[in-house]
Amino acid sequence: MEDSAAVAGLLWDEWLPEQVRDVIAGPLPGGVEDARRLVVWLTGVHDIGKATPAFACQVDQLADRMRDAGLDMRTQGQFGPDRKVAPHGLAGQLLLEEWLEERHGWSGRQSGQFAVVVGGHHGVPPEHGQIKALYDRPHLLRTPGPSQVVWRRVQDELLDGCADVFGVRERLGVWRSVRLPQPVQVLLSAVVIVSDWIASNPELFPYFPQETPRSGEERVAAAWRGLSLPPRWEPRPAAVDAGELFAARFDLPAGAVVRPVQEAAVRLAHAVPKPGLMVIEAPMGEGKTEAALAVAEIFAARTGAGGVLFALPTMATGNAMFPRLLDWLERLPVQGGTPLSVLLAHSKAALNDDFAELMRTSRQPIVAVDVDEDVPRWRPSDVGRTAPAVLVAHAWLRGRKKALLSSFVAGTVDQLLFAGLKSRHLALRHLAVAGKVVVIDEAHAYDTYMSVYLDRVLEWLGAYGVPVVVLSATLPARRRRELAVAYAGAGPDAEGFGEVEDASGYPLVTCVAPGLAPVVERPAVSGRVGQVWLEPLGDGLDVLVERLGAELVDGGCVLVVRNTVQRVLDTAKALRERFGDEAVTVAHSRFVDVDRAMKDAGLLDRFGPPGRSGAGRPVGPHIVVASQVAEQSLDVDFDLLVSDLCPVDLLLQRVGRLHRHQRGDGQAHRPAGMRVARCLVTGVDWSGPVPAAVRGSVAVYGRYSLLRSLAVLSPHLERGGRAVCLPQDISVLVQAAYAQEARVPGGWEGEWERALVRHEKHRADQAERAGRFRLDAAGRAGRPLIGWVSGGAGDADDTRAGRAQVRDSQETLEVLVVQRLADGRLVTLPWLAADGRGRVRGGLDLPVDRCPSPAAARAAASSGLRLPVQFSAPEVMDRAIGELEEFFVPAWQAKDSPWLAGQLILVLDADCQTQLAGFVLRYSESDGLEVTRG
């Protein structure tokens, strides 16, 4: 009890962000002082349920000593299955409630809102049925008969002692009138869980022999030094001038100036009465990421946030963001030598070279140290100067349930959405986000299913007072309003948010905080303006080949974006026959992880901003054929764009890769015929009365979304139509495509109506399915968290199955790809590039009679590949798993080979082919995975 309570006090004093402490202190009459007392006391009593016969009977020799002292109890076998009705957390909740009610005059409702913290300290608050079942079996709490009085006396003595030692006895009468909001109950539960986990660690709190006693203070001090948990980040007030702030935090090109949307975001972050939700809408390439980090720093200083969570749509975008986050952190002013905990949060983070290097350099064993050892530890009073922070990937803060507790996190949006999913240890996720500023990138990229979770998470973030920054280049106005209403906790029919939805202009910065009127500002556009001419192009491959042959006479770089991988591969094959293998590059999602990373790096080197170091822009004609992986987070620039029809917001994202940078005066460094930006729209049969998108595009996006896109693009696609003006037309086109009242082109009515019916049915189905495990909104203040996650999804994690809980995607198989050579040896794929530290990854031996070398095992793990949709059908998936499991290497399952243990291995032959579940699989470095019927 003392160990846990002492840890809670240290967490409060040194680790919990001010933003979290303020939320807990808010409803308490004694403010922060009361809050600390409450945290320490609840942590101290959290295991009182172990002082019951149902728990104490488990170790015979210890139970016998208790029986000798008058605490009679049945044996474990005599209790039978009834013991399961009394887990010690629930038993502790009932004992604490009883003590508060009978000895201190609390009502049942008053005691429940505090005691439920004890009941839920193992990750799940109890349900009403569980409470009733234990009430019906009082013998599990105290043995009937003469011993009952002894049990009661011991339990009361322990609780009385905690009230005295932890200084709450005089506060209990005052707290009796407090109504704890549910967010406060969640945070209290989380702090108790964290304290319990630390105090239960035998490395930090070993059982000392009786002959070498130590005081409680010495014991805790030794453990705290051994843990060496990085202290909370205490942000300093940021510069008011945007130019000064950006110059200090970012590596800006010579002569760069702060853009109007960045300046407006910084100014509003300082000026709004209370930090809340800020939505930044601006064109691609306008520096929204830098604006978000600047706003996050300002908001953190104003609210006492202890970190930043940057949520991105995919692992690839998370990987791209992580080094940018590190660069920003290295420029933050902190007291010299302050360690800041940093994390890359997705399932393959350990394969990221930047994060792996951070883990290597900050490796530290977590062990208790000798109490007499003088171990220096950073303290705020130690240093008064500012200096670069020490960035660490702290070992204790890694793992599925603790990861987000790191101060600074870049990861997939799934990590944020899990905060809206009923699951075990959900309180820890809420503690993690409640102490940060949350940045949500590419907000337009989330469908109805994901939005159901995102909106509920925003409600809780608003209740916690967490500042949130939302970024998008193409956000529909209705979605902007939904995000604002959710964060403000105002309900779907709330009044006063009309200005948020009706706001016109672009760029746009919108600020919302609970209880305050929204603020909308329309910054001026930057000097980056241009025109893009759209043109319809027939869908045949021969049409495309002929057209590009004419376009590339004088050279040039073309991006062709297809909506399915199969269309990418078919297109690349046809283009190679005409232009040669060296002139065509393929990029899509069916490459193994390390190849995919090298593809992205190669695209940036060849097609990135002018002056970027690397291979350089191709001199002759070059065509990149890509799937949607080229839509976002790649700063690449092409002379001509060919795109399959897609929803207009995504088409505009693709257009953002066209003439992205200035190449010479008037684009003079581009081929003469490509100095005017043009996008050829294909993937459509244009011949009928209603243009018809190809089947693959309909399967991905739905017929209705494609018709809406066509309808708003029609004036730009018609012969003699007008160009799309950037950035002015971005918001105009997006709002028109997603407006509730649509203009239906003449002759399209029948097809439009049929597509709309299917669209609405699909959206309703998504919302219904997402709602099954979605967390409820915060209940009224004083209502205990009983049943908070009942009927939930179990554990939530960033595995394939875990992500499927918050994404409307079919379950897929993920495999590690290796090769069996003609001589029978297993090796990693031979062409794999060296990692970020120059270590070889390709062609390494993978012996089956022992664990592979760490380098080979890691290289194999970096060859993860998600199998395509053909393997998602249950019968195909089951057959594939069965066949894959036939290759099982016992030596690879050892604990000292974590990279390969439990993985499904896809073994390719010497020609990089294999058969699986009736399909032929071929893999190549240039084209990735191709799947055909066997």
Query: Three-state secondary structure along 74-138?
Result: CCHHHHHHHHHHCCHHHHHHHHHHHHHHHHHCCCHHHHHHHHHHHHCCCCCCCCHHHHHHHHCCH
The single residue listed with the structure tokens 């029978």 is 824
Query: What are the sequence ranges of the domains in the chain?
Result: 2-226, 242-365+386-521, 530-588+603-726, 810-933
Neighbours of 667 (CB within 10 A): 18
Round to whole Å and give the CA distance between 376 and 69. Answer: 45
Is the CA virtual torsion 873, 876, 882, 885 positive or negative?
Answer: negative
CB 745 within 8 A of CB 714: yes
User: What number does CATH give the domain 530-588+603-726?
Assistant: 3.40.50.300
Amino acid in position 427: A
Query: Residue 697: CB partners within 8 Å, gap ≥ 6?
Result: 563, 564, 644, 645, 646, 683, 706
The amino acid at 460: W
Q: Which of 291, 376, 391 is nearest to 332 (CA)?
A: 391
Question: What pLDDT is stored for residue 367 in this prediction?
Answer: 46
DSSP 213-233: ---HHHHHHHHHHHH-PPPPP
Name which of 687, 706, 711 is nearest 696 in CA terms. Answer: 706
The structure tokens listed for 561 are 């974006």
Query: Which of 484, 413, 469 has its CA nearest to residue 436?
Result: 469
Give domain 242-365+386-521's CATH superfamily: P-loop containing nucleotide triphosphate hydrolases (3.40.50.300)
> Tell me, what amino acid is at 474?
T
Question: Among 186, 184, 188, 183, which residue's Cα sits nearest to residue 778?
Answer: 183
Other CB atoms within 10 A of residue 909 CB: 12
Phi, psi of 264 (to 5 degrees): -65, -40
Do the beta carbons of residue 469 and residue 278 sit within 8 Å?
Answer: yes
Class of domain 2-226: mainly alpha
- Tokens 């062609």 appear where? 843
Identify the CA nearest to 868 among candidates 826, 813, 917: 813
**In angstroms, rounded to a whole number, what is the distance separating the alpha carbons of residues 566 and 569?**
5
Strand 334-335 to strand 386-387: parallel, antiparallel, or no bridges (unpaired)?
antiparallel
Q: What is the pTM of this model?
A: 0.90
Predicted pLDDT of residue 899: 87
Element housing 765 (H / E): helix 749-770
- DSSP annotation of 59: S
Q: Which residues contact 61 (CB under 8 A, 6 or more apart)?
A: none
Strands 826-827 and 814-820: antiparallel
**Both tokens assigned to 364:** 């530290």
> What is the distance between the alpha carbons of residues 252 and 246, in angstroms, rounded to a whole number?
8
* Measured distance CA(183)–CA(117) in Å, rounded: 12
Among 98, 97, 89, 91, residue whose Cα is nearest residue 118: 89
Q: Which residues of the chain have pLDDT under 50?
A: 209, 211, 366-387
CB atoms within 10 A of CB 162: 25
CA–CA dist 284, 272 (Å, integer): 26
Cα 156 → chain centroid: 44
The tens digit of pLDDT for each residue in 718-776 reads 988 899 998 889 999 999 999 888 889 999 999 999 999 999 999 899 888 888 889 99
Rounded CA separation 599/593 (Å): 10
Alpha-carbon span 359 to 339, nearest angstrom: 13
pLDDT of residue 492: 65
- How far out from the chain centre does Cα 644 lie? 29
Whether the domain at 242-365+386-521 and the domain at 530-588+603-726 fall into the same CATH topology = yes
Q: Tell me the C-alpha to C-alpha distance, in Å, between residue 445 and each of 289, 450, 484, 807.
A: 16, 9, 17, 12
Contact assessment for residue 288 and residue 635, using Cβ atoms and an 8 Å cutoff: no
Model pLDDT, residue 378: 35
Mention every residue, 6+ apart, whose C-beta is less than 8 A from residue 205.
Answer: 3, 199, 219, 223, 368
What does the pLDDT read at residue 494?
A: 73
Residue 642, H or E segment: strand 640-644
Q: 919-924 and 913-916: which strand pairing?
A: antiparallel
- The position carrying tokens 């996006």 is 701
Residues with Cβ within 8 Å of 592's Cβ and at least 6 positions away in sequence, in order, are 817, 829, 862, 863, 864, 865, 923, 928
439 SS3 class: strand
User: Looking at residue 881, what is its pLDDT?
Assistant: 94
Q: Around 765, how many Cα atoms within 13 Å sit in the side-chain half-sphere?
A: 7
What are the backbone angles phi and psi of residue 196, rounded to the nearest 5°?
A: -65, -45
Report the C-alpha gap between 85 and 133 in whole angstroms: 7
Task: Using the Cα atoms of residue 46, residue 47, residue 48 and residue 54 in order, give the sign of their dihedral.
Answer: positive
Q: What 8-state DSSP symbol labels residue 772?
A: T
Residue 409, phi then psi, degrees to nearest 5: -135, 130
